[in-house]
Amino acid sequence: MQPVQIVAASPAWAREFAALAARLRACLGARALRIDHIGSTSVPGLHAKDIIDVQVTVAELDVDRLVPAFALAGFDHRPDNPGDHRPPGAEGPDLDWAKLFFAERMGRPTNVHVRVLGRPNQRYALLFRDYLRAHPAAAAAYAELKRRLATLGLSRGLYADVKDPACDIIMAAAQDWAGATAWQPGPSDG
């Protein structure tokens, strides 16, 4: 396994997302309720792994309908990644953290996370992104954490395991911010 590498932020990431979103929209049609650029590459100026993360929001995780549509768009289903990290104190069923995960078959490294509208994991990704966009100091601290973790030569799995609790701390502040500002997700990115 290759260790995680963090690179400087690139203005190309937004353009690359737009092209990916158009391709996904063409194959998914109305099944995609939202297509959003998430993760570190969606936060301007934030250093990140050079992997575009996309969240596709759907009404249900219908494997039989979604896997063939994603295949047409050039994405392979990765059943080995069936759910998200569940933050401490999260209430509700484990199903709230279920997802489908797809990776770009060839070309630009891309991860597509398919989540159900209104579930906590769908909201988490959007709130996390918007909080970091609105709080440059938090984004800079998060970037520094990721940079330092990358110097340790960790595998992607171990990197995520170490980083998840830091994301949960950021989310605690993001939840307070969301309550104070009446935050709601903006329109879909794609």
Q: Who's near 125: CB < 8 A, 6+ residues apart?
A: 36, 38, 39, 55, 113, 115
| pLDDT reported for residue 134 | 98
pLDDT averaged over 10-residue windows placed end to end, the chain, 190 residues: 89 97 96 98 96 98 96 95 92 96 94 98 98 97 95 90 95 97 95
For 144-180, b where at least 16 C-beta lie within 10 A, e where not — what string? eebeebbeeebeeeebeeebeeebbebbeebbebbee
Question: Listing from the earlier edge strand, what are the strands of the sheet with 110-116?
Answer: 34-38, 52-58, 110-116, 100-104, 75-77
Element (H, E) at 54: strand 52-58
| pLDDT reported for residue 1 | 65
| pLDDT reported for residue 145 | 96
Among candidates 16, 51, 81, which has minimal Cα distance to 146?
A: 51
Q: Is 177 left (phi over 0), alpha (psi -120 to 50) or beta?
A: alpha
Q: How far is CA 65 from CA 72, 97, 98, in A?
A: 12, 20, 17
Where exactly are the structural domains of the chain? 12-181
Q: What is the pLDDT of residues 101-142, one digit of tens each?
A: 999 998 899 999 999 999 999 999 999 999 999 999 999 999
Q: What fold characterizes domain 12-181?
A: Beta Polymerase; domain 2 (3.30.460)
